Chain A
């Protein structure tokens, strides 16, 4: 046999050399590919892969910062933080005990010859029993000396005897293990706070802490952790302004920059923090919420924390100083709280007082209200529902939309003078009613008032004067006047300081911005009520009909008249830099005599008119009352209004009071709202001449 030699791989299977070479190269290529891939991963990708495995064995825990405080204009803290002491169990340190208890339970099950053993259930039982045992120990240390200082300690509390709140909550434990296994489990939430089930008085609360601190072993799985909760030292005071906070799992990510926090693949756990849910707490959340702290931990294979590698403390948020004066606020709230309906329930009401020059709001009350302390931590659905049913969520001073009633007559008068249909010294004949078309519009005095000028009109609140002037002025004139004084523009909105990144925001959330109505022909057509009639104009001239505004708008109106301008821009934030210039404000455009008559009428209203009841000896002030009608539960009910400013000759503050009447009782502007205004002004007068009391410093 000639030719190329053949290689025998197996007996009788000759192989071609070329084919062998081809196979060899194929394998070589494959091997090179694998080797190259391996080298690539080992040499080039190694850093990246290492990082990945690192990230799987590490986690970041974000800790919530303390929120900033909210002060009143004098530096009294209206919203503060207090320490909360919680007893927590370190689950990682308890692993051994869990395991031991589990094995014991398992042995017991086996001894019982149980048919099927649910190991998951056993493990859960074991955890529960261990934690309950520790919780019993905690209470044992706290209680035994609490109750029997002299008796010898007896045996441990049996879990069955423990009342409900002293039981470890199985559902909470399950959720905790599922969602935040690495964080300590809370056994007792708020050890020292009086009012919770744990402590009755603050002294007892302090005692509980002291007992735990001094008697419980320092080293061990049970720790006393202390964090902070929001507290509102004055309770429900200014609750609508301050708002409240709610739990959030989304902590501000604006931590001190560390690269670890930014890594997407790194597991992040967050303690529950707080975020604003209403009021200033919500609108100034960006200021109040601080910078989260973080901890970088390595973790065990079971998912518990192992070692803390790096950390940074959280930083407290900024403080906010409100323009409110807590003394005026308190007095106003107390006065309004005296208003009750036939069944003893609080009448819904609102009151506003503001500084005429700066527009800073000194007091802003809405009734009924709520206690933000009870919403700060765990809200019971019962309390939530109670506020809901009372209508306590609505901030009536900034969100409540009402017909302003006779207080609008101020604008009818200015509109009339501006359109020159009436002057300050014109005397109009005012009978018992005024006929418009084929309808008689009544005076509230059955025999009429006879000869009435501007001054007298404001004092006695004559309707017929306004019908006449209103119809002569026309709807366009009245609507333009209302717009000139800003009744259609939203208040409390500010644009862009650096803190809110130049975005438009309202100082108080949900302040009325839509809903405000200054009616005109187009409006009536738009809502499909047909064509505008003179009757509508007559109605509008006394502040009834379609017109809807808020108490804050009316207070601003009073301030504008007092200052002789057309606009007042209110603010709830205190600032020393306010110049008294108001955006959009123009001179009121009336002659000195006209303005004097307008203001004189308001003073006369208090001195001898509808607001007599509110007179304050030694403090003459200007006012205008109003009683308007609104439908409630299908029936007509009254709204009592009073707006004004004080003192009469050198105005400093302006105010508005509104009370919603119920159907079964009769309320009137002067009679109901007058005394409230009087007490507000007295409170203001008391603060204007402050006694020698030491004021707390705003911050240290």
Chain B
């Protein structure tokens, strides 16, 4: 296997986490909250993958999330791609764990916000109490992003080690 396919393998390695998040959303169904991790999944790979690989990885990650949800096509995927490009320019901030956690919370909340507005945009009816719901959703996304980052990153790093992706520069 060439290094070129590393992003795809990594995507497959990450997918169980996405599925797990969907199942968690399923369990949360009655509260109308969504267990959102797509943003957090970007952090670990963006330290090590090449930029073009990150772009593909992020795009697919977004499309996987929005495939079954009625939001404008590509709204989340393209936003995640933009986030990936941005992250790839900010690698110096991702060299230690606190930095990664911070980034995970931020990116996850940002992506969740975009998803929320995209869904609201095509919703046939306006929802009452939208601000409270948005706040709850963003809070959940922030918490989930930070909490799930470590296990996700562990999985992703293991996969990348296996694939022989060069390790990221660490900063104490």
The interface of chain A, by Cβ under 8 A from chain B, is 218-219, 308
Q: 4 pairs across A/B with beta carbons < 8 Å?
A: A218-B124, A219-B122, A219-B124, A308-B126
How far is the CB of A306 from the nearest CB of chain B, in Å? Answer: 13
Residues of A within 8 A of B122 (CB): 219
Considering the complex, give the chain B residue whose CB is closest to the CB of A307: B126
B126 to chain A: which residues have CB within 8 Å?
308
Q: Closest CB of chain A to B73's CB: distance in Å?
A: 15
Q: In this complex, what residue of A is CB-closest to B70?
A: A219
Expressed in whole angstroms, the Cα–Cα distance for A219 and B122 within the complex equals 9
Question: Bound state CA distance, A219 and B124, in angstroms?
Answer: 5
**With a CB–CB cut-off of 8 A, which chain A residues contact B124?**
218-219
Alpha-carbon distance between A308 and B124 when the two chains are bound, in angstroms: 14
Distance in angstroms between the alpha carbons of A218 and B122 in the assembled complex: 12
Chain B residues contacting A308 (CB-CB under 8 Å) are 126
**CB-CB contacts below 8 Å: B114-138 with A:** 122, 124, 126
Q: How far apart are B137's CB and chain A's nearest CB, in angstroms? A: 21
Q: Which partner residue on chain B sits nearest A220 by CB separation?
A: B124
Chain B 91-127 residues near chain A, CB threshold 8 A: 122, 124, 126
**Closest A-chain residue to B124, C-beta based?**
A219
Q: How far is the CA of A591 from the CA of B124 in the complex (A)?
A: 81
Distance in Å from the Cβ of A103 to the closest Cβ of chain B? 22
CB distance from A447 to the nearest CB of B (A): 88
B residues apposed to A, CB below 8 Å? 122, 124, 126
**Cα distance, A218 to B123, chains bound together (Å):** 11
Nearest-Cβ distance from residue A487 to partner chain B, whole angstroms: 64
Distance in angstroms between the alpha carbons of A218 and B124 in the assembled complex: 7
B126, closest chain A residue (CB): A308
4 closest Cβ pairs, A-B complex: A219-B124, A218-B124, A219-B122, A308-B126
Q: In whole angstroms, how far apart are the Cα atoms of A308 and B122 in the complex?
A: 16
Taking the nearest CB of chain B, how far is it from the CB of A71, in angstroms? 36
Residues of B within 8 A of A218 (CB): 124
Minimum CB distance partner of A218 in chain B = B124
A569 to chain B, nearest CB (A): 54
A219 contact set on B, CB distance < 8 A: 122, 124
Which partner residue on chain B sits nearest A217 by CB separation?
Answer: B124
**How distant is the Cα of A270 from the Cα of B128 in the complex, in angstroms?**
26
A219 to B71, CA, bound (A): 13
**Chain A nearest CB, measured from B97 CB (Å):** 43
A219 to B123, CA, bound (A): 8
Q: How near does chain B come to A273, taking the closest CB pair, in angstroms?
A: 25
With both chains docked as a complex, state the minimum distance between the C-beta of A216 and any C-beta of chain B, in angstroms: 13
Taken together as a complex, chains A and B put the C-alpha atoms of A433 and B95 apart, in Å, by: 130
| CA A247 to CA B126, docked complex, whole Å | 31
B44 to chain A, nearest CB (A): 38
Q: How far is the CA of A56 from the CA of B126 in the complex (A)?
A: 25
CA distance A308 to B125 in the complex (A): 12
Provide the bound-state CA to CA distance between A219 and B126, in Å.
12
The CA-CA distance from A275 to B124 in the complex, in Å, is 34
Instruction: Give the residue name and chain of the A residue nearest to B122 (CB).
Output: A219
For the complex, give the distance between the alpha carbons of A67 and B24 in Å: 51
**Shortest CB distance B164–A (Å):** 48
Separation in Å of the A438 CB from the closest CB of chain B? 90
Looking at the assembled complex, report how far the CB atom of B37 sits from the nearest CB atom of chain A, in whole angstroms: 29
Please report the C-alpha to C-alpha distance between residue A308 and residue B128 in the assembled complex, in whole angstroms.
Answer: 13
A279 to chain B, nearest CB (A): 41
Min distance, Cβ B71 to any Cβ of chain A, angstroms? 13
Closest to A308 in B: B126
A533 to B124, CA, bound (A): 84
Query: How far apart are A164's CB and chain B's nearest CB, in angstroms?
Result: 33
- Closest Cβ of chain A: how far from B124's Cβ, in Å? 4
Q: How far is the CA of A218 from the CA of B70 in the complex (A)?
A: 14
Shortest distance between the CB of B31 and any CB in chain A (Å): 24
CB-based nearest B residue for A219: B124
Chain B nearest CB, measured from A678 CB (Å)? 62
B123 CB to closest chain A CB (Å) equals 9
CB distance from B72 to the nearest CB of A (A): 13
Q: In whole angstroms, how far apart are the Cα atoms of A218 and B125 in the complex?
A: 10
A308 to B126 Cα, complex, angstroms: 10
Q: How far is the CB of B122 from chain A (nearest CB, A)?
A: 7
Give complex CA distance A219, B70 in Å.
12
B83 vs chain A, min Cβ distance (A): 28
Minimum C-beta distance from B128 to chain A (A): 12
**Cα of A259 to Cα of B122 in the assembled complex, Å:** 31
